[in-house]
Structure 1
Amino acid sequence: MQTPQNIDNLITLVLILAPLFIGFALPLNRTLVQLSERLLGYLVYIILTLIGIELAQVEGLGSQIASIALYVTVLSVLTIGGGLAGLMVFDRMVPWSPPGKQSVTKHKVSVRGSLIQVSCVLIGFVIGQFLPASFMPPGNTMTGLLMLLILLVGIGLKASGITLKEVLLSKRGMQTSVIFTLAVLMGGIIFWLIFDEVSLPQSLALASGFGWYSLSAIVMTDAYGAVWGSVALFNDLVREFFALLFIPFFMRKTPSAAVGLGGATSLDFTLPVIQQSGGLGVVPLAISFGFIINIVAPVLMVVFSSFG
């Protein structure tokens, strides 16, 4: 017999997955794809600003800043380091080189996008300090934005031109995804062992963002409050910074590890870096890996967070 909590968890999972499949099912045209890409960019900024506003409402936040910084630092080291170590071992045991000649183009690292995202949170925090309670967003605002975000991601995944069959038939992509997921979750388990105040399901949920900061921030805020939502957000943003800087370095000898550094962003934000440092031959692996991780991340976060 299902309890009300189980039913709520099932509803949450449906609210996340249904828009994704709707996005896949929609007949696409160039106008819709361009519109969805533009809306997705604006939506991410809106969501991050709202997260900043919610963070400003947390009582005694100043006394928790040091703890948040500690959580983010440890979680980032464990999740990024765990995934990287696991895939480096995989590359060593099962060597793989991208077909074709690797690019020697020097990539100019740009963290401008990441800085803008952090700025949105800070702007939201400042707004939240002065916003009257009567002007606060309704309680279900984040849920609505989350559904719209997932819908737009679904449209983007379909527009990428790759089918689910092609993804699942990519043996290297599947192997990389499984090893990455298990290694990062192992980092979450170690995080739980270090901090007594964090439950195992919570640690695993925090680790399951896989670089998808806008999604993890919403889900963790809804499940555990704005403080933990901010931990998830900055943990995934740190992954983005690290990936931009170090993908070219790891691509030389461990291409699977380099692709895995980007996590969910390997399908979009860090894909140009992957292509420029590894050549066109590595792009199918990045798309297959990123596609699978974009499907797995929301499921794991909701499932783990439903256990407390």
Structure 2
Amino acid sequence: MTGKIMLAVAIGVGLGLLLPSEISSASTMLLNIGLCVLLFFVGIDIGRNKTILQTIKRSGIFFIMVPLGTAVGSIGGAMIAGLFLGYPVNEAGAVGAGFGWYTLSAIIIAPYQAELSVLAFLTNIMREIIAILTIPILAKRLGHIAAIAPSGATAMDTTLPIISKHTSGETAVLAFATGLILSLMVPVLVPFILKL
């Protein structure tokens, strides 16, 4: 599945370079429709599990610890990387606080600095690609919970089908909740960290 996803992305990049710009504006609408259809079917898959509330209750402390740990690790890791790359700690932390939501984090950072906005966009796209490639490996070698963290905010949408395929229904529910919590944190944390 991961290979098929990467092939689809590569074909998309190739077509994006070749097709006229008028068609690329229609691709945004098609992307949104496709994502909605994808989430619809993932929702059906999660909904087949009749004990979702019990699953959330059983996850206990993980329900809060997974998104919190992902947030702390993402921001902390970005700040440490920023030190090595010569970026101010607050700017690097703001990029990490995008949690893989490349469109929103780049837009929030754009008024602050265009270069940092591009960095946030590229960094968070790379996070999603790395998540797509590593989720199957992490699920197999480190366990199902570990497979959620690389996705960040995308655990509730684009990487959820991969998490669902390589883990369990319970983990998919936890991944969706983690992605939702992280997505809600992005518009709050990115501007907050930039102002530090």
Q: Same fold (TM over 0.5)?
A: yes
Instruction: Work out which of the residue numbers 197, 219, 239 in structure 1 matches 2:108.
Output: 219
What's the % identity of the aligned pairs?
A: 24
CA distance in 1, matches of 2:68, 2:5: 29
Instruction: Provide the alpha-carbon RMSD of the alignment.
Output: 3.2
Question: What is aligned with 1:192?
Answer: 82
Q: Flag the structure with more relative contact order, 1 or 2, with Cα contacts below 8 A and sequence separation at least 6.
A: 1
Which of the residues 130, 134, 143 maps onto 1:246?
A: 134
Corresponding residue for 1:272? 161
Rate the CA distance shift 1:305–1:115 in 2: closer, same or farther, 3 A.
farther
The one-letter amino acid of 1:188's match is A
Render the CA deviation track for 1:140-184: whole Å, top value 9, x for unaligned. xxxxxxxxx9xxx9xx9xxx6999xx69x8521211111111112
**2:5 matched to which residue of 1?**
110
Aligned CA distance change for structure 1 residues 118 and 263 (closer, same or farther; 3 Å) = farther
| Structure 1 residue matching 2:112: 3-state secondary structure | helix
Match of 1:178 among 68, 75, 79: 68
Displacement of 1:116 in angstroms is 3.9
Task: Indicate if the aligned counterparts of 2:144 and 2:168 stay in contact, CA closer than 8 A.
Answer: no
CA distance in 2, matches of 1:294, 1:119: 30
| Distance verdict in 2 for CA 1:274–1:299, change over 3 Å | same
Matches within 5 A, 1:10-89: none
Q: How many equivalent pairs are there?
A: 165
Change (3 A) 1:298 1:260: same
Report SS of the residue matched to 1:262: helix
Give the letter for the 1:275 counterpart. Answer: S
- Contact map agreement 2:135 2:150 (CA 8 A) in 1: yes
Q: Distance in 2 between matches of 1:229 and 1:259?
A: 25
**TM-score, normalised via structure 1 length:** 0.47
The answer to whether the Cα contact below 8 Å between 2:108 and 2:190 also exists between their aligned partners in 1 is yes
Among 288, 296, 307, the residue aligned to 2:185:
296
CA contact (8 A) 1:114 1:240 kept: no
What does residue 28 of structure 2 align with? Answer: none
Gaps of 5+ in 1: 1-105, 128-148
Report which of the two has the higher share of helix.
Answer: 2
Q: Which has the larger radius of gyration?
A: 1
Structure 1 residue 113 displacement after superposition: 4.4
